Chain A
Amino acid sequence: MDAITVNTEASEDANSRPLDSIDVSIPELYQNDTYQPYFERLRREDPVHFYADSKYGPFWSVTRYKDIMKVAVNHQVFSSKWELGGVRLEDQVQGYERPSFIQMDEPDHGQRRMAVSPVVAPANLQRMEGVIRERTAEVLDGLPRDQTFNWVEAVSIELTSRMLATLFDWPLEDRHRLMFWSDVTVCHVDTPDAPVHSEAERWAELQKMATAMKALWDERAKSNVPRFDLISMLAHSEATRNIDFRELLATCSLLIVGGNDTTRNSMSGGVWGLSQFPDQYQKLRENPDLVPSLVPEIIRWHTPVLHLRRTALADFELGDKTIRKGDKVAMWFVSGNRDDDAIETPHDLIVDRPRAREHISFGFGVHRCVGNRLAELQLRILWEEILKRGFEIEVLDRPKFLRSNLIHGVRELPVQLH
């Protein structure tokens, strides 16, 4: 079936099936790029939606921008705790829980977050801008012309893996292992071509990662010279210096994913998005000064994190529904960013959109993405350097997306440069 047939079928299905049978947790919806009509119907008819029979148990879907905001800022009621299942719809399997700070409530979350946030604070970003630009130029100048290649491998993964190695001060030549562990962390183990196929296998790989990180940690803990990599910061911070091996594993896997995956997919999603709106791409090529609004617009339009989950600590009225204590609640950022009550013509990628920064991709409240400004910096430099070179990027086929209800992953995007 071609893409248009698949999309028509999805739209018919979304609008004809009984409302209470809509399950937006199915990873294939995102792999096949057919999720939008289901969310459109939910936003219209049942914006706070309960589904009882998902593979991941009963859960609420919050689909409108303003409702997502209400959940995101209320960390007193909506918990992230790993002990309650964590921040993904898919509960953590017992014995394999990963207690990283994204899966903690206050004050534990805040103390640990503050240990790593200096690495992406404004002053440190200024220090990094030069090296990011140099690498971006090197990667772009090495691309073939008039030949088909995979943008994801050649540009998005190449650039974000180098950045990740820098953030950890990890050997650059060994950066592909970090990318592998990132894929290991986010995958659904029941995906046929996933890098690991069971929780035990995932844990074994992450233990290898944590062992390698621990060796760097121990060495850097001894040094009195302040260094600006994540491992050194964790090893020296009061809040994190004595964390156990399990938390070290969890924290490093969180920072590996956060430090590359979302930016990687936005680098690919932006190229795909602009190919769908050629008049916008043309406007951008004629006016490179639009990059500062292009960057948040790409992050909104692509929405690299599909959902994050919370667990209710008390009953809570949302819309005309009552969420009960103990219920699982998914904030669907991918839906909130397409809510036309909050964003005008939300399905269009508009390079000079007014108030482009007001999107929901980074989440809101105390758990808001700590690396958002680094992500924007990398995307800004990438697009500045693309436009400087006058590249015309021709997209030859639809992207292949990751089978995931968590990460909006782009695995392949065939392009030619002219």
Chain B
Amino acid sequence: MPNVTYIEFDGTAHTIDVPVGKSLMRGAVDNGVAGIDGDCGGECACATCHAYVDPAWLDKTGSPEPGSLEEAMLSFAAAAQPNSRLTCQIRMREELAGIVLRMPEGQH
């Protein structure tokens, strides 16, 4: 099973197996990884699963579509960066095996 490395704001890293098709938000929440909340359950409606995609992986994950709800929601996240994504909007694929995500200081 492909894995994901989630790095908390304080540097604590968690490498978690995430099945293909599952969202990277669920991969964190279902395994008790602190720092990703996912309050809306994966509907792109709350911006509490915000993470920074390691630049090496950005061409594979892509960025939010211009004019999309993800882009609108991210504009309200604290400390959004060009490599910010809502992790509920990224589904695990084989080519994302080993992807590294860094978390912001907090979700809000």
Q: Could you list which residues of chain A lie within 8 angstroms of chain B, going by C-beta atoms?
A: 69, 72-73, 75, 106, 110, 113-114, 117-118, 120-123, 125, 355, 357-359, 362, 364-366, 368, 370, 372-373
Contact = CB atoms under 8 A, between A and B. Distances in A.
A159 B29 CA distance: 32
A122 B39 contact: no
Interface string B74-106: 011011000000000000000000000000111
Contacts of A123: 78, 105-106
Contacts of B106: 121-123, 125, 373
Nearest to B78: A121
Contacts of B76: 110, 113-114, 117, 366, 368, 370
Contact of A365 (B29, B38, B69, B79): B69
Contact of A110 (B37, B47, B75, B108): B75
Nearest to B45: A364
B72 A364 contact: no
Nearest to A124: B78
Interface residues of B, number: 23
Interface string B39-50: 111011111000
B40 to A, nearest CB: 5
A125 B107 CA distance: 11
For B29, B38, B108, the residue with the greatest tally of chain A CB atoms inside 10 Å of its CB is: B108
A135 B69 CA distance: 39
A118 B47 CA distance: 15
Nearest to B30: A355
Given A368-B45, A368-B47, 16 more contacts: A69-B45, A73-B43, A73-B69, A113-B76, A117-B76, A118-B78, A120-B108, A121-B78, A122-B108, A357-B37, A359-B39, A365-B45, A366-B72, A370-B76, A372-B108, A373-B108
B78 A355 contact: no
A45 to B, nearest CB: 26
A73 B45 contact: yes
A80 to B, nearest CB: 14
A356 to B, nearest CB: 10
B73 interface: yes
B40 A358 contact: yes
Contacts of B75: 110, 114
22 contacts: A69-B40, A69-B45, A110-B72, A110-B76, A114-B75, A117-B76, A117-B108, A118-B78, A120-B108, A121-B108, A122-B78, A355-B29, A357-B39, A364-B40, A364-B43, A364-B45, A364-B46, A365-B45, A366-B73, A366-B76, A368-B47, A373-B107
Nearest to B75: A110
Contacts of A373: 106-108
B78 A358 contact: no
Contact of A69 (B43, B72, B78, B105): B43
For A110, A125, A364, the residue with the greatest tally of chain B CB atoms inside 10 Å of its CB is: A364
Contacts of B43: 69, 73, 364
A358 B43 CA distance: 11
A328 B1 CA distance: 49
A366 B46 CA distance: 8
A19 B107 CA distance: 42
A73 B44 CA distance: 8
A122 B104 contact: yes
A69 B41 CA distance: 11
A358 B78 CA distance: 20
B40 A122 contact: no
Contacts of A364: 40, 43, 45-46
Query: Which 10 A-B pairs give the minimum distances between C-beta atoms?
Result: A122-B106, A364-B45, A121-B78, A373-B108, A358-B41, A122-B105, A357-B39, A73-B45, A366-B72, A365-B45
A367 to B, nearest CB: 10
Contacts of B104: 122
B76 to A, nearest CB: 7
A109 to B, nearest CB: 10
B78 A106 contact: no
